[in-house]
Amino acid sequence: MRTIYNDSHALHHGKVEMFRGELVPCFEVPARVDHVLRALKARGLGAIEAPDAFDDAAIARVHAQRYLDFLAGAWDEWVALDPANATRDALPSYWPVRTFRSDVLPASFPARMGLFSYDAGTPLTAGTWTAARAGARCALTAAARVLQGDRAAFALTRPPGHHAGADFFGGYCFLNNAAIAAQSLRDAGVERVAVLDIDYHHGNGTQAIFYERADVQFTSLHGDPHTEYPYYLGYADERGAGAGLGCNHNLPLARGSGFGLWREALSTALRGIAAFQPGALVVSLGLDTFAGDPIAGFTLATPDYLRIGEDLARAGLPTVFVFEGGYAVAEVGANAVNVLDGFMQQAG
């Protein structure tokens, strides 16, 4: 399997995030990708390539232009507020909740930070835009390789993407790589695309982007939002709206769920995808379902990820894998590569 690797990912390296009332070191760190890259090389799973060049028009097919403009200039604005800001990351502290306006773009940088975000756990750094933009190009390149005939391709990048909406960041995510890949497949003529999110945390951004569309089906297996981040989306009764009614499928599971129950949910998801009859599949590959993950609550073991890859391959679809979460850093490489290895072994 071909891997498209973002060699700019480490330019985004947050120092701290707000977690349960205190500033703590970030869980989302460059070492996550480094471990996956080492595991890929050790396993000899396939070629590792740099992304192709794409202009930002492909990203703007998913994200609002005023949001992209903000991200592109945010760090310079942050430092312009106070030269000392060059030594610390930017975190939002104000948000336009119910009854507040979001249509007017404030002149204040802190106000715009809040307008375009939804949590205080996602630091914006000097290299965030460069890393995220290169990551989107990895997703676009992986989709292009599948369009060119590869059975599957893997976009290995960070920051992750599935929590990012059309015009907001959060959950460590700035650009929604899975949605960008799915849209590029549609734009290339694939009539229907399925997005399957297997991260522990619901892909609220991807759901929101495609919620009213019938050409992209979104399915997510995740921790129950009654108790798990992102809390405010991911319930089973969220089925889509308008033309997209019936094209959104959430399969929330209780904290502590093991592989048996999780795999049953995956089977349900894959049956729904088969009924949709897509021409391609995009997988948001989160590995924070692992038992040792510090900010999640399922109990999957490393060998289970081989079985997941096999199950995904049985769908028989051209598949784009996009790296998402997984914060048990030492184990994330083996877990990620097991999915890809299991997929390729089953696919032949």
Q: What is the pLDDT of residues 118-154, one digit of tens each?
A: 999 999 999 999 999 999 999 999 999 999 999 999 9
Instruction: Check pLDDT > 90 for residue 20.
Output: no
Q: How confident is the model at residue 97 (pLDDT cuts 50, 70, 90)?
A: very high
Portion of the chain with pLDDT greater than 90, in percent: 98
pLDDT single digits (tens) 148-191: 999 999 999 999 999 999 999 999 999 999 999 999 999 999 99
Q: Which tokens in the block code for residue 32?
A: 């996550």
Q: Quick one: average pLDDT of 75-101?
A: 96
Q: How confident is the model at residue 21 (pLDDT cuts 50, 70, 90)?
A: confident
Question: Which one from 9, 13, 63, 163 is the annotated catalytic residue?
Answer: 163
User: Do 108 and 93 meet the contact criterion of CB atoms below 8 Å apart?
Assistant: no
pLDDT single digits (tens) 272-282: 999 999 999 99
Domain 2-58+126-347 is of which CATH architecture?
Answer: 3-Layer(aba) Sandwich (3.40)
The upper half-sphere exposure of residue 159, i.e. CA atoms within 13 Å in the direction of its Cβ, equals 31
Q: Where are the domains of the chain?
A: 2-58+126-347
Q: How far apart are CA 281 and CA 31, in angstroms?
A: 28
**Quick one: pLDDT at residue 303?**
98
**Quick one: pLDDT at residue 19?**
87
For residue 40, which phi and psi values (nearest 5 degrees)? -60, -45
Instruction: Check pLDDT > 90 for residue 86.
Output: yes
Average pLDDT of the residues of the chain: 97
Portion of the chain with pLDDT greater than 70, in percent: 100
Q: Quick one: average pLDDT of 234-255?
A: 98
Known catalytic membership, residue 163: yes
**Quick one: pLDDT at residue 301?**
98
**Quick one: pLDDT at residue 141?**
98
User: Do 5 and 300 meet the contact criterion of CB atoms below 8 Å apart?
Assistant: no
Task: Give which of 65, 51, 68, 73 is closest to 2, Cα–Cα.
Answer: 51
pLDDT single digits (tens) 30-56: 999 999 999 999 999 999 999 999 999
**Quick one: pLDDT at residue 322?**
99
**Quick one: pLDDT at residue 118?**
97
Q: Quick one: average pLDDT of 204-224?
A: 98
**Quick one: pLDDT at residue 171?**
98
Instruction: Check pLDDT > 90 for residue 61.
Output: yes
Per-residue H/E/C for the chain = CEEEECCCHHHCCCCEEEECCEEEECCCCCHHHHHHHHHHHHHCCCCEECCCCCCCHHHHCCCCHHHHHHHHHHHHHHHHHCHHHHHCCECCCCCCCCCCCCCCCCCCHHHHHHHCECCCCCCECCCHHHHHHHHHHHHHHHHHHHHCCCCEEEEECCCCCCCCECCEEECCECCCHHHHHHHHHHHCCCCCEEEEECCCCCCHHHHHHHCCCCCEEEEEEEECCCCCCCCCCCCCCCCCCHHHCCCEEEEEECCCCCHHHHHHHHHHHHHHHHHHCCCEEEEEECCCCECCCCCCCCCECCCHHHHHHHHHHCCCCCEEEEECCCCCHHHHHHHHHHHHHHHHHHHC
Buried residues in 256-282 as b, exposed as e (16+ CB within 10 A): ebebeebbebbeebbebbeebebebbb
Q: How confident is the model at residue 348 (pLDDT cuts 50, 70, 90)?
A: confident
